[in-house]
Amino acid sequence: MQYFRNIVYWNKLNSNNQKKILLRPILKTNYSIKNTVQKIIEDVKNKGDKALKKYSLLLDKYQDDTFQVLQENISRSSSDISRELKEAIVTAKNNITCFHEAQKPLKIDIETQIGVRCQQIHLPLNSIGIYIPSGIAPLFSTVLMLAIPAQIAGCKKIILCSPPPISKEVLYAAYICGIKKIFQIGGAQAIAALAFGTETIPKVDKIFGPGNTYVTEAKLQVSSIFNGPAIDMLAGPSELLVIADHFANPDFIAADLLSQAEHGISSQVILLTPSEDLAQRVIISINEQLKKLTRLSEILIALKHSTIIITEDLLQCAKISNIYAPEHLIIQTKSPRKILDYIFNASSIFLGSWSPESAGDYASGTNHVLPTYGKSLTNSALGLADFQKRVLVQELTSQGLINLSNTLEILSSAEKLEGHKNAVKVRIDFLKEKYNG
């Protein structure tokens, strides 16, 4: 049975159809979800732990006097998982640490002119919340992606929330990252608790981590409230675009496309290639590999809004990719770095036949928290900078102020801000009196 056979020829489409073929699956606005989340947020904000216990029992069928995971249970996770998995997690941790350590910013400390010293320093966010969703599988890799840069940045307080029961894999990842405050609470109620604080869960300054539609909606709502927390980003469905030429391995491409399609029914995968022969071989391979995968029903839905596009050449592939601005971009061509020179919009890029997207998801070292839904046009992958804030420092000597004063007075007068001008003038008058008196 042939499950997938979507091929289109880019140059045979009119401009409207070209736009349509690159549309993401529609994310419908659900007012019921909005209202439900709003009610949960207000409840948690006003009633604290009492509301958390209510929603935990109602939504997660979990009842306990305390949400916090005991330190002994966090430590015990080390003996609860296999040595093989522990070694793999440690390898991933080491690579992620290496890459994010390298992101430490250079200090800027310069004299813009004699007597005028300007600096840029980076300070850690004081407190952050990490949300780790549950579901089909424990996302312990996301613990590493969020906790490691937070630790390197120097964040003083790191709070982790995840729906009960938290898996031993998530606990172990948190354990080796030094996270001590872990709470078994999930959904919109966890986001509300992190945003406003309760008797048990501390308020944080910024919330990180993916989640379902309720979690995403909760992040949007709390970040829109005055004095509410900042958030990392609003995560959308996973997406992958592959650029390939006739040198590419069709089985590798098929496997990469399917690896992202299995994320969920709203995921989208696209292949761009000037080679019709390669496209046909990829289709054959997709339909063969589908027989071996377990999440067939979800993958087939994702494939309905996925496609293979035949282009004129590789340069056109790059142009189309820049329009789409994918979350993940794989370039499987004879000379992938030549194509890289023409890519301007992508969140995370994988070059060559031996760089599956799975490497970035887990252990190459780059971060897998990425902008989706075309946000790569302006936004970046999560990194060390997201856990820090830039602070500007300036220091003028008396002579430096004298040298700059005329410029400052002219500019402030031009903007009709006499108070600004006066703040300079009173100092200059003082200096004149001091030196002339």
Q: Answer yes or no: is 322 a known binding residue.
A: no
Q: Answer yes or no: is 122 a known binding residue.
A: no
Q: Answer yes or no: is 420 a known binding residue.
A: yes
Q: Answer yes or no: is 418 a known binding residue.
A: no
- Measured CA to CA in angstroms, residue 412 lies from 146, 194, 206, 430 at distances of 44, 43, 36, 19
Q: Which residue from 260, 422, 290 is spatially nearest to 5, judged by alpha carbons? A: 290
> Which residue has 């009709």 as its token pair?
416
Cα atoms found within 13 Å of the Cα of residue 248, Cβ hemisphere only: 37
- Beta strand segments in 74-115, E: 108-113
Q: Answer yes or no: is 131 a known binding residue.
A: yes
DSSP letter, residue 379: -
Each residue of 218-251: b (16+ CB within 10 Å) or e? Answer: bbebbbeeeeebbbbbebbbbbbbbbbbeebebe
**Chain Cα centroid distance, residue 422:** 46
Told to judge if 409 belongs to the known catalytic residues of this protein, a careful annotator would answer: no
Told to judge if 327 belongs to the known catalytic residues of this protein, a careful annotator would answer: yes
Q: How far apart are CA 132 and CA 149, in angstroms?
A: 16
Q: Answer yes or no: is 435 a known binding residue.
A: no
Q: Answer yes or no: is 263 a known binding residue.
A: yes
How many helices (H) and strands (E) the chain has is answered by 17, 14
Q: Which residue from 186, 184, 192 is spatially nearest to 218, judged by alpha carbons? A: 192
Contact by Cβ (8 Å): 69, 166? yes
Q: Answer yes or no: is 361 a known binding residue.
A: yes
Question: Prior bond to 165 cis, omega within 30?
Answer: yes
Q: Answer yes or no: is 120 a known binding residue.
A: no
Please return the burial class of 272, using the count of CB atoms within 10 Å of its CB with bins 0-12, 13-18 and 19+: buried
**Catalytic residue from among 327, 357, 368, 418:** 327
**Catalytic residue from among 328, 357, 395, 418:** 328
Query: Dihedrals φ, ψ of 312, to 5°?
Result: -75, -45
- For the annotated binding site, the residues are 131, 189, 212, 238, 260, 263, 328, 361, 415, 420
Binding site residue list for Zn(2+): 260, 263, 361, 420
Please identify every residue annotated as catalytic. 327-328
Q: Which residues are annotated as a binding site for substrate?
A: 238, 260, 263, 328, 361, 415, 420
Known binding residues for NAD(+) are 131, 189, 212
